[in-house]
């Protein structure tokens, strides 16, 4: 049964969100005064960039099915699940977009949900993303995990067993649902939005902070109206640097703190770092390069793979093995995301990797060419070679080394 098409028409998913059953964080209005939710948070470029760089990086990784045969890892492109995970999640969405969608939902809401469509034999045939606003993980009267899926605000509710819902969750307080990073980071994000609005308002008012006009004597109504008309004509960014003429002994006194004194720009820069910290992303991935050098960016890029992408890949792999494989296949059949794809744009790193593998005999010329989507060079290309000055420990015998 395909609940996705039945409940989530294009009209229903545009309804006002219902927040699913993400943990509640009722701390009142943020101190900065601007409410934040998963939709408005994406208006912040740093949040959008963090969600995008993680979800796109994971989505591009080949997600393949393998079989363990006598400790040999054999790729199984003929397995039905391989098509779903690696090529096409369903009849409407490719695997890349599916992985990107579920990961971004998990990053924003703490949870990414998808319906597992099965055939009559019980095998998965498609994965359909579910709106996290209208999907709720709970337990039935017997204590089993079930999912309540609502067809938009005020729509019908369908209860689905846990075995039919692919659930990608982030850090969790109970293992049932994940924390929403946006809800937890509401104070930081509210401050970022307040700084952004302040900057827009500041520059929109002529890049000059407010002040007062002082006069030694009262102005007539006609003089006041003329002054107001001419003064208002100089507001806006286009008139920011035009010269104003003050009459009647008027004197302009600035009363607000200049943005440089209030460290406005430094505060905005710090908020990018703060958002990077919430999403565990190196600042240079959000294009915050104030402290970047060639050496530390290279190291941070490795940290991005180890500390940011790898945990999410592990979540994907284990949920797939638990929900998408038959019980008799588990342990023998498994899924794996291939991080070698991240070397695709770095020819130097790829060359060093292949060279090291070739020199220790773990890859042949033909295997390397296939990894580069190139044809083999014939039977000679299948030979594996090792340096002649190296021997095995067994052959070394009693030689002194």
Final residue in a domain of this structure, among 233, 263, 293: 263
Q: What is the pLDDT of residue 270?
A: 58
Tens of pLDDT, residue by residue over 310-369, are 999 999 999 999 999 999 998 899 999 998 888 766 677 778 888 888 888 888 888 888
Residue 126 in domain: yes
Worst-scoring range by mean pLDDT, 49-58, 261-270, 328-337? 261-270
Q: Which 8-state DSSP code applies to residue 33? A: S
**Which of 184, 199, 208 minimizes the C-alpha distance to 45?**
199
Ranges 38-42, 103-107, 303-307, most confident: 103-107
Q: 224 with 270, same domain?
A: no
Confidence of residue 17 (pLDDT cuts 50, 70, 90): very low
What average pLDDT does the structure give for the chain? 78
Q: 120 with 227, same domain?
A: no
Q: Let me know the angle formed at the C-alpha of 13 by 9 and 19, rounded to the nearest 5 degrees.
A: 140
Final residue in a domain of this structure, among 263, 284, 303: 263
Tens of pLDDT, residue by residue over 139-193, are 999 989 999 998 766 678 899 999 999 999 999 888 899 988 888 777 767 766 6
Q: What is the pLDDT of residue 192?
A: 65
Q: What is the pLDDT of residue 9?
A: 42
Confidence of residue 247 (pLDDT cuts 50, 70, 90): low
Q: 129 with 196, same domain?
A: no
Tell me how far CA of residue 240 lies from CA of 11, 130, 143, 199, 206, in angstroms: 45, 49, 66, 15, 4
**Which of 150, 167, 168, 172 minimizes the C-alpha distance to 159?**
150
Residue 11 belongs to domain spanning: 1-186+264-343
pLDDT higher than 70, residue 385: yes
Greatest Cα pair distance in the chain: 111
Residue 228 in domain: yes
Confidence of residue 97 (pLDDT cuts 50, 70, 90): very high
Ranges 196-210, 270-284, 305-319, most confident: 305-319
Q: 76 with 209, same domain?
A: no
Number of domains in the chain: 3
> Any idea how long the chain is?
401
């Amino acid at each position: 049964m395909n609940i996705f098409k039945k409940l989530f028409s294009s009209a229903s998913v545009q309804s006002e969100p219902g927040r699913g059953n993400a943990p509640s964080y009722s701390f009142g209005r943020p101190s900065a005064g601007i409410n934040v939710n998963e939709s408005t948070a994406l208006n912040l470029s740093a949040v959008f960039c963090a969600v995008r760089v993680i979800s796109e990086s994971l989505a591009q990784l080949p997600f393949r099915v393998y079989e363990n045969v006598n400790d040999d890892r054999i790729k199984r492109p003929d397995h039905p699940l391989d098509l779903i995970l690696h090529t096409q999640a369903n009849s409407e969405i490719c695997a890349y977009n599916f992985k990107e969608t579920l990961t971004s939902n998990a990053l924003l809401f703490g949870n990414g949900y998808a319906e597992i469509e099965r055939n009559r034999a019980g095998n998965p045939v498609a994965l359909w993303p579910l709106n996290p606003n209208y999907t709720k993980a709970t337990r039935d009267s017997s204590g089993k995990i079930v999912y309540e899926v609502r067809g938009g605000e005020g729509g019908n509710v369908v209860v689905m067993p846990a075995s039919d819902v692919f659930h990608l969750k982030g850090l969790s307080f109970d293992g049932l649902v994940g924390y929403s990073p946006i809800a937890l980071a509401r104070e930081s994000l509210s401050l970022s939005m307040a700084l952004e609005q302040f900057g827009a308002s500041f520059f929109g008012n002529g890049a000059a902070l407010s002040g007062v006009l002082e006069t030694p004597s009262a102005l007539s109504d006609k003089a006041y109206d003329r002054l107001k008309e001419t003064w208002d004509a100089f507001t806006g960014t286009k008139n920011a640097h035009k010269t104003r003429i003050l009459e009647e002994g008027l004197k302009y006194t600035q009363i607000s703190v200049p943005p440089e004194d209030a460290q406005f720009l430094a505060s905005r820069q710090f908020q990018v770092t703060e958002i990077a910290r919430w999403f565990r992303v190196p600042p240079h991935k959000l294009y915050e390069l104030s402290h970047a050098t060639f050496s530390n960016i290279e190291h941070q890029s490795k940290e991005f793979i180890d500390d940011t992408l790898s945990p999410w890949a592990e979540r994907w792999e284990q949920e797939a093995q638990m929900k998408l494989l038959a019980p008799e296949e588990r342990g023998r059949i498994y899924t794996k995301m291939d991080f070698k794809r991240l070397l695709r744009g770095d020819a130097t790193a790829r060359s060093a990797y292949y060279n090291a593998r070739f020199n220790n005999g773990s890859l042949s010329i033909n295997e390397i060419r296939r990894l580069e989507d190139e044809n083999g060079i014939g039977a000679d290309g299948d030979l594996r070679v090792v340096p002649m000055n190296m021997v095995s420990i067994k052959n070394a015998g009693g030689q002194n080394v």
